[in-house]
Copies of this chain bind each other. A is one copy, B any other.
Amino acid sequence: MIGFIGLGAMGQAIAANILKAGFELTVYNRTPDKTKDLQQAGARVAGSVAELCSNADIVLTMITDDAVLAQLTGGENGMLAHLRRDALHISLSTISPAFSDALAAQHAARDQQYVAAPVFGKPDVAALAKLWIANAGSAAAKEKARPVLEAIGQGIYDFGEKPGAANLVKLSGNFIIAAMIETLAEAYTLGEKNGVSRHDMHEFFTSTLFPVPIYKNYGRLIADHNYLPVGGAPKILQKDMRLVNEVAAHSSVAMPFANIVHNRMIAMANANVQEDWVGFARQAATEAGL
């Protein structure tokens, strides 16, 4: 049996695909109403983490951050205490590499398995089972995880034995996306202030140098001054950018671009704006008097 904990927008979409792929699935969420759709689709609902873990071969988690995952895994009611020997924890969350490695060690000390398998894609991509997955952990654990991950993604990329490596790739990827958004925000703002249409620029760059969906989709929103739909809450994205900067600081890497997108997310989170990082474009436009 497969267990799934953490039914936010991403978690629900992923869990649904696991079910569709024919796996027996039990789900758990702190706020129980999020389990309804999955229950109707055939999932069992566990009343507690302990109950879910005690019967599962594999448990996937999709959780906000280090702190919440630490709470979920630790303590007398936590995953570590209740997961069976040889059971596998697949962590899909965007967490710090250091915490991921520490968690792996804790599982190993209980003869449990752990892989980090953070995913790239918004909820609509998750719903189509088209996520890209960075995967790291022991060969045996990755082998065991493979059929489940294949049910939710379009590609699994191996980053070795150390789980934190996959988490670092996920953080790096989010940084790259954030930097791409800031770049386009600055460029299109420069255009608009100089009488060049944002849309013409967008068409040009995404027809020539950057003809890929991520440029087309984010760039379209930026060209439109359109900050909806929201792909990730500001507090979550702020956390991601904070983690990038923390890892950089602790490994002595200067990342001036990462500093800037972090500051952008801080300002957004403090302003309580319900926008994701496309909101960088609003900040750039506001600073430019648009």
Contact = CB atoms under 8 A, between A and B. Distances in A.
Interface of A: 97, 120, 132, 134, 155, 157, 159-160, 162, 164-165, 168-169, 172-173, 175-177, 179-180, 182-184, 186-187, 189-191, 193-196, 200-201, 203-205, 207-212, 214, 238, 242, 244-260, 262-263, 266-267, 269-272, 284, 286-289
A190 B248 contact: yes
A208 B287 contact: no
- The complex is assembled from copies of this chain, and their number is 4
A62 B109 CA distance: 37
Given A191-B172, A249-B245, A159 B287 contact: no
Given A187-B175, A214-B209, A97 B254 contact: no
Given A162-B195, A263-B256, A209 B120 contact: yes
A184 B194 contact: no
A211 B215 CA distance: 11
A194 to B, nearest CB: 5
Contact of A238 (B165, B177, B252): B252
A263 B189 CA distance: 14
